[in-house]
Amino acid sequence: MAKLNSINELNALREKLKEETFQPDRIRARVCCGTACTATGAHKVIDSFEKEAARTGTDLEIVKTGCQGICQKGPVLKVEPLNIFYQRTKPKNVPWIMSYSMLGNMPYRQGLYRDNILSEPVPEMTDIPFYKKQKRIALRNNGVIDPCNINHFIAVGGYAGLEKALSSMTPDQVLNEVDKANLRGRGGAGFPAGKKWLHTKKAPGDIKFIIANGDEGDPGAFMDRSIMEGDPHSLLEGMAINAYALSARYGIIYVRHEYPLAVKNLQIAINQAEEMGLLGKNILGTDFSFTVNIREGAGAFVCGESTALVASIEGERGYPRPRPPRLSEPGGGPWGYPSNLNNIETFANVPVIIEKGADYFLSIGTKNSSGTKVFALTGKVKNTGLVEVPMGITLREIIFEIGGGILEDKAFKAVQTGGPSGGCIPAEHLDLSVDFDSLWKVGSMMGSGGMVVMDEDTCMVDVAKFFLSFTQSESCGKCPPCRIGTYQMLEILKRITSGQGQDGDIERLEDLGNKIVAGSLCGLGNSAPNPVLTTIRYFREEYEEHIHDKYCRAKACSGLGLFRIENPECILCGLCKQACAFGAVRESRNKFFIDQDYCTKCKACYTVCPTDAVKIEKHRRKKAAVSSQQ
């Protein structure tokens, strides 16, 4: 590919590619090749398309796109020119899809999206409930372009924001436009990007770094990964605009090692951009130069924290450092140079703000939280996947309209936002506006965008233990409040969930949690107790049942409850007796019963019973037991 030596050459190339690359009448299949769809067989589907095209002599264009969002239904694809969306596509379905939708003029009904087996199929992607309320800015090109083809990116308007910045805006004007748009950091804290950029710009020195934080370690989160895999050039363009505004020359993308496809696609994108003169020296014939390199992390969750990330970039162990100096100040960034660090999604929004203006971005979302937010919707929800919604949408709309509601139509119990550092929000707040300030008021946070949905069968004490065990194991151990405090909290939770809870445990957890928040060195420790503190705040009665009644209402914790067999429901199959390793299940006069002296509450009998005849009940509290004896 030829190097572009001027902005006019980029304009001319874009107009040419618009006509050549996306011809509206072309027979085309846009196949999702994100990590989730790849795992479910997307490349086998592509192979089948290639073989069928060769067999029929069809001039077929296959576009291997990034994540298209609805991961639960993968592999997914969109067939053109009819714009028909197909889900759970198998290689054996490809000949039918080509015959009906490519060579014919009708959809192949068996491959279309359906809400359930009785509902009418939906051919158009935009008519599917999962997509109806979404608005894509950061994910605008995912599902549209081949991330490994820079021509696709340019054809859909890529690098137009950088072109506008270089041709008609000063660095200060670029910075002011981002500041006016009130773009808040999508990595968790929500700090205004424009304010952070300005602080870095004012730092003395000729050398400054632009750092993109792609160390996405939250369980169940894959927002940044999907952008890096599916639209890496939007990240590079956002970083280049940032570099122009700050007069920086060097960029670093910090990516966790567990994202091999993201690393691969990013490196391809960097090489292509350098070859075309969109990165490197004298970009588009101007005096602006900017180079980007990739640094892979070793998978430590704490390296998502800025100072630990910088230590890792320098080749040291990922320990957080005291602040000041901040990254934006001399001595704070890599090798002591002032640096601006933003999340991947934050950078992906920048080209749109520059190209369309701050007012466009401000027209979306709420007053204090403008724009959109990408969420990884997971857990006990029917349609899991990647969603991008305007700020201000409610939790109810995301979970029940976009997500399709709770699996098996069970009752909604809570949603965890912000990953392991966030909080659990109960059903009473389902109509809460999803924005930075509203989530903070109820004890949670936006975080990087993880959203885990829980149903009536979820034990909130067990959930708190799960998230705390993650943050405790990922603690770097540098400061005692985090290292010792999270361990002590986890031991209390283990005791509670195994039936050994004691009076005062809830108060101990609250006291320890507040001290960890106040005394920890970095954001990991400051937010680690959040899942515990919010579950106590909203689900305190479950903690009390675990401690005083030795009972888990979700039947999730072993070692709790009083086990008995409801004889009218028992079919005398004997599976419970076979499963019990301790001889607690006895048989007498054609009925089974549980000997409480031998029962270890392991739940084996409860798990294997085919008729739910094994019941788990509360222990009577001591006071109630004495009263009944009297």
Q: In this structure, are 423 and 471 located in the same domain?
A: no
> Which range has the worst mean pLDDT, 90-99, 379-388, 417-426?
417-426
Q: Identify whether 92 is part of a domain.
A: yes
Give the tens place of pLDDT for each residue, 401-426.
999 999 999 999 999 998 888 889 99
Section 256-281 average pLDDT: 95
Looking at 458, 488, 507, the residue that finishes a domain is 458
Q: In this structure, are 199 and 323 located in the same domain?
A: yes
* Confidence band of 476 (pLDDT split at 50, 70, 90): confident
CATH, residue 75? 3.40.30.10
Q: In this structure, are 176 and 301 located in the same domain?
A: yes
Residue 194: per-residue pLDDT: 95
* Confidence band of 436 (pLDDT split at 50, 70, 90): very high
Q: In this structure, are 268 and 388 located in the same domain?
A: no
Tokens standing for 54?
């060769």
Q: Identify whether 6 is part of a domain.
A: no
Beta strands in 359-429 (DSSP E): 372-379, 385-390, 412-417, 423-426
Looking at 132, 158, 182, the residue that finishes a domain is 132
Looking at 362, 383, 418, the residue that finishes a domain is 362
Give the tens place of pLDDT for each residue, 588-604.
888 999 999 999 998 99
Give the tens place of pLDDT for each residue, 285-311.
999 999 999 999 887 888 888 999 999
Residue 620: per-residue pLDDT: 66
- The answer to whether residue 548 scores a pLDDT higher than 70 is yes
Q: Identify whether 11 is part of a domain.
A: no
Residue 630: per-residue pLDDT: 37
CATH, residue 238? 3.40.50.11540
CA-closest candidate to residue 268, choices 144, 147, 158 = 147
* Confidence band of 477 (pLDDT split at 50, 70, 90): confident
Residue bearing tokens 């929004």: 349
Cβ(367)–Cβ(352) below 8 Å: no
Q: In this structure, are 100 and 63 located in the same domain?
A: yes
Q: In this structure, are 429 and 494 located in the same domain?
A: no
* Confidence band of 622 (pLDDT split at 50, 70, 90): low
Residue 397: per-residue pLDDT: 96
CA-closest candidate to residue 341, choices 550, 217, 199, 456 = 199
Q: Identify whether 270 is part of a domain.
A: yes
CATH, residue 389? 3.10.20.600
Q: Identify whether 332 is part of a domain.
A: yes
Q: In this structure, are 471 and 605 located in the same domain?
A: no
3 state SS of 545: helix
- The answer to whether residue 576 scores a pLDDT higher than 70 is yes
Residue 609: per-residue pLDDT: 95
Q: How far is CA 555 from CA 426, 559, 563, 565, 618, in A?
A: 19, 10, 11, 15, 11
Residue 625: per-residue pLDDT: 39
Section 360-371 average pLDDT: 95
> Which range has the worst mean pLDDT, 118-127, 193-202, 501-510?
118-127
Overall number of domains in the chain = 5
Q: In this structure, are 522 and 571 located in the same domain?
A: no
Gap between the Cα atoms of 627 and 75, Å rounded: 61
Q: Identify whether 292 is part of a domain.
A: yes
Q: Identify whether 162 is part of a domain.
A: yes
CATH, residue 609? 3.30.70.20
Section 75-98 average pLDDT: 94
CA-closest candidate to residue 123, choices 141, 136, 108 = 108
Q: In this structure, are 339 and 220 located in the same domain?
A: yes
* Confidence band of 621 (pLDDT split at 50, 70, 90): low
Q: What percent of the chain has pLDDT over 90?
A: 78
Residue 117: per-residue pLDDT: 81
List, as one string, the DSSP characters of 153-195. HHHTTTTHHHHHHHHH--HHHHHHHHHHTT-B-TTTT--BHHH
Task: For residue 232, list its beta bridge partners.
Answer: none
Residue 104: per-residue pLDDT: 87
Continuous H helices in 57-159: 94-97, 129-132, 150-155
Gap between the Cα atoms of 272 and 150, Å rounded: 7
Quote the distance between the C-alpha of residue 481 and its chain's center. Answer: 28
Query: What domain range is 24 assigned to?
Result: 19-132
- The answer to whether residue 478 scores a pLDDT higher than 60 is yes
Q: In this structure, are 388 and 513 located in the same domain?
A: no
Q: Identify whether 535 is part of a domain.
A: yes
Residue 118: per-residue pLDDT: 83
- The answer to whether residue 187 scores a pLDDT higher than 90 is no
Q: In this structure, are 446 and 473 located in the same domain?
A: no
Q: In this structure, are 401 and 516 located in the same domain?
A: no
